[in-house]
Each structure stands twice: as structure tokens, then as C-alpha cells.
Amino acid sequence: MASFAVKFLGCKVSQADANLARRALLDAGHVEVDEAHADLHVINTCAITSEAEAKSRQSARRSLRTAAEVYVAGCAVNLRPERFAEISERLTTFVGTADDVAARMGGAPPACVDLEHDVRARERPAAARTRGFVKVQDGCDCHCAYCIIPTVRGPARSRPASAILREVAARVSDGQPEVVMTGISVGDYRDPESGEELGELMVRVARVPGVERVRLSSVEVIHVRDSLLRALAQEPKVCPHLHVPLQSGDDAVLRDMGRHYDSAQYLEHVARLRRAAPRVNLTTDVIVGFPTEDEGAFQRTLAAVDAAGISRVHVFCYSPRPGTVAEGLGDCVAPAVKRQRSQALRARSEVRSRLHRCAKLGTTQRVLIDKVAARQCSGYTDDYTRCYLPAESWPDPPRRGTTVDVRCAELLADGLRGEPTPAGAILSREG
């Protein structure tokens, strides 16, 4: 029996893959402890950008300072395993799918050590979460010009709904009433047994006893199909928040990126989505500094963010990925220009986020508590707005995993301050 800690870099799929390795180690009888005291570290890496690759290698080096053995897996390892193998002989690279890695973790116990930590620590990280990430799909068939993910993840493939529903039930039993359905191209989901689409699966997940909320991690705008619109419009437990990548608002850049829409089509899909679910909160990804992006293209991206009513933008600076079509275009935009555009887009994102949060002031929102501290607790509304509840405002502070109605009373730097709903008062509920 060995002590271990599991870490991940990158997206929610990487987190789900890391949890699969974690579960395999637990099932094999090993004990999870905090990172500083673990003899074995497992790291699921990321390759979405060159910076993510570099951070993955840095994480491995940091782990080698305290851990006797370090196992690395995930996208960066699948892309360039030799860059990790050369770090240390105490580092083991696992190339393959998350299922392959989990099978090896469960079947080959790491070095045996004497444990000085309470065995109850093995469930500590899971017990701290109210949100369970369930991978429903892996791989991608889009082959965008800048993206290496289809190379390291393979083609799109979906899990059977029966297996997903079993995992959801287990997550609820572990105290995770909110389920986040994740995948590399999650909108491609098709149950291999029944053919049902993503929206139909979400409705089935919402009906699992104990599930309070169902979210999506990210979905391409071209994959927002009728079944998903119906789920958002008709199933109260399906959260009105979608992360819908834009990447650029310029049609020429979108063509060069190999995206499957132009800016007008993106906005048409968004308008259709808002007609079906008027309360939906939209967030997005944008790449700045793509080789063919000039200042005019960047300004059109800013305009598209405004026109789509985006409330928050995740900004990525372009970096060439080995083996992609865009690698042949070079890296033409100067680093200083990339930084300037990133700063401008993040500033626009902050303005849009404040507008979104200001619209909630004075309304009543239902908040699922996921963090509890001595002075305050906090959680998210159904449309993914963070709400803070100071302890002095609550005679009996809510517990983690509980859902409470709060009045949005004040705009904060990264969320809202919520107060208990006054007894007998009739307050507006958004939407």
C-alpha cells in the first residue's frame, strides 16, 4: 500500500481523467494524502498551448522534489513523451487513453511505504467537492488548424448512457449533487446503444435521484441542436449556462483556423439559443494573435463578443503546435501585440461580466454552496455566477452541498454578495 496525490493541468476532461486514475489507485488499496506527504504523484498533463506543456513539465519537476516516484499521463505526454522521459529516471510516462492509464494504475501498485497518515484521508479531496465532472465523450473530429487535440486524443467517441447514469448515481452518493457533463467535443455525443443525443442524455441525468443540477463544460455552437435547446427550455435542473467557444470574430481568421462557422452563423446560433432559453448565460474562448489576425480582425472579435452578449471570455494567446496545419503559417504576431490584445479583450470581458452581475442586483437567486469558511461561504447560481454569503448575515450559515435562496445585494470584484431572503418579502426572481 502506498500514499499518493493526483494533480491535473488544463481542462475539465483532464480533471475527469485524473479522477479516473485516482479511483483506480483507491480501488487497488492505496491511500490518498495531501501532495506534500505523498510518496507517489500522478499528474495529468495538458498540451493546448506551449505554455501548458511547459507548466506540465514544471509540475513534474516540482513533484520530484518530494515524491519518490512521479507518473505523468495526458495530452502533453501523448504529444511528446520524450520531453518528460528525459526529466528524471524517477519519472514514468504513461502514453495512451485515460482508460489505459487507469488500468495500469490499478494493476501495477507503486512502491510500498509505511503510512503515517490517517487512512480517512483517502476520501478527503472528493469530500470537498459538490460538483462532479463526468466524462461522456472523448476525442474530436473537427481538426481545427491550430489544435493538436485530435492527434493526442483521437477521433470522437461516446460512452454508453447506461455507464454514464451509473457514474452519476455514484457521484450523488459521494455528495456531489451537481453534475458537469464534459468531453473534448461533447456536442458530438451519441449514445452508441440508443443513438440519443446530448440534450436527451442531460434530461435523463437530471432525473437521477439526488441530482440537483446538470451542467455542460463546453459545447461548440454548431452542436447546439434541438434536443439541447429543449433540455434548456423544459428541464429546470439543466443549468442556463453554456460555454460556447468563438475563437475569433473575423471570418477570414475563422476560415484559416478551420472553424465550421462564420461570425454571422455564430450570432444566428446564439440568437436561436436565447429565444429557446432567455436566461442563458454565455461564456466563450478566444484566441488572440493567430498568424492571420490583424488589428481589424481583432476589432471584429471585440464586436462579436459584444453582439453575442458574452459575459466572460477565456483568452488564449496563440502558439504554434507541432503537427498542426497552422504551424506552417508561422508565428507572425509580435508577442507585445498579443499581450496588448489579450489585455484589451480581458478588460472587455470584465466590463461584460460586471454588466451580467449588475443585472442580478435585487433579484433572488438559488445558490448551491460549495465552499465554507469561518467568515463566509459561497457557491454558484444556476447560470454560474459566484455568490458570497458573509457569516454575519446568516444566523445559521448554510452547509456545503445545500441550496439556499439569496437576495443579490452588492457587486463584488468577482461575484455578488448575497443576503438571506427577508421573511415574507416578495422579491423578483430573474427570468
All structural domains of the chain, each given as residue ranges with its CATH number in brackets, are 3-124 (3.40.50.12160), 129-234 (3.30.750.210), 240-358 (3.30.750.200), 363-429 (2.40.50.140)
Task: Please choose, from the candidates 190, 242, 246, the residue with its C-alpha nearest in 3D space to the C-alpha of residue 216.
Answer: 242
**Mean of pLDDT values over 205-230:** 95
Q: Give the mean model confidence (pLDDT) for residues 115-120.
A: 30
Report which DSSP code applies to 340.
Answer: H
- pLDDT at 288 exceeding the cut of 60: yes
Nearest to 289, CA basis, from 281, 298, 300, 302: 298
Q: What is the pLDDT of residues 120-162, one digit of tens each?
A: 333 344 445 788 999 999 999 988 999 988 888 889 999 999 9
Lowest mean pLDDT among 38-47, 346-355, 421-430: 421-430
191: which residues sit within 8 A by CB, 6+ positions away? 158, 160, 161, 201
For residues 389 and 416, the answer to whether their CB atoms sit within 8 Å is: no
**pLDDT category of residue 194 using cuts at 50, 70 and 90:** very high
Question: What is the number of alpha carbons within 13 Å of residue 82 lying toward its C-beta?
Answer: 0
CB 291 within 8 A of CB 251: no
Chain mean pLDDT for the chain: 89
| Whether pLDDT at 430 is above 60 | no
Please check the confidence at residue 247 and state whether its pLDDT lies above 90: yes
Q: What's the confidence (pLDDT) of residue 134?
A: 93
* Helix, strand, coil % over all residues of the chain, rounded to 5: 40, 25, 40
Count of Cβ atoms closer than 10 Å to residue 245 Cβ: 17
Strands of 213-216's sheet in order across: 131-135, 178-182, 213-216
DSSP 41-108: EEEEE--SSHHHHHHHHHHHHHHHTT-SEEEEEEHHHHH-HHHHHTT-TTEEE--S-HHHHHHHHHHS
Instruction: Flag the least confident range among 266-270, 272-276, 420-424.
Output: 420-424
Q: What is the DSSP string of 204-259?
A: HHHTSTT--EEEES---GGG--HHHHHHHHH-TTB-SEEE---B-S-HHHHHHHT-
pLDDT at residue 414, rounded to an integer: 92
User: What integer pLDDT is reported at residue 60 of this predicted model?
Assistant: 93
Q: Considering only 24-38, 65-79, 97-111, 354-368, which range has the smallest mean pLDDT?
A: 97-111
SS3 category, 163:
helix
Rounded distance between C-alpha atoms, residue 280 and residue 277, angstroms: 6
Q: How far is CA 404 from CA 366, 368, 370, 373, 413, in A?
A: 6, 7, 12, 17, 22
Cell of 280: 442563458
Question: Strands 403-411 and 363-372, how do they pair?
Answer: antiparallel
Average the pLDDT over 238-246 and give the result. 97
SS3 406: strand
Chain segment 328-366, per-residue pLDDT in tens: 999 999 999 999 999 999 999 999 999 999 999 999 999
* Mean per-residue pLDDT, 268-278: 96
Express each pLDDT in 14-26 by its tens digit. Answer: 888 888 888 888 8
* Residue 31 β-bridge partners: 3
Amino acid at 419: E
Q: What are phi and psi of 420, to 5 degrees?
A: -60, 140
pLDDT for the residue 126: 43
Band of residue 98 on the pLDDT scale cut at 50, 70, 90: low
pLDDT tens for 45-64 read 998 888 889 999 999 999 99
Measure the CA–CA gap between 138 and 185, rounded to whole angstroms: 7
For position 27, what pLDDT does the model report? 84
> Residue type at 31?
V
pTM to 2 decimals? 0.85
Percent of residues, the chain, with pLDDT higher than 90 = 68
3-state SS class at 124: helix
- Residue 313 · residue 348 · CB < 8 Å: yes
User: How far is it, in rounded angstroms, from Cα 131 to Cα 125?
Assistant: 12
Band (pLDDT 50/70/90 cuts) for residue 107 is low
Task: Convert 345-378 to b/e letters by CB count within 10 Å (16 or more is b).
Answer: bbebbeebbeebbeebeebbbbbbbbebeeebbb
Beta bridge partner(s), residue 371: 378
18 with 10: CB under 8 angstroms? no
Name the residue with cell 480517512: 120
Residue 301's Cβ-count burial label (10 Å; 0-12, 13-18, 19+) is buried
What integer pLDDT is reported at residue 151 of this predicted model? 87
Between 52 and 241, where is the model more confident?
241
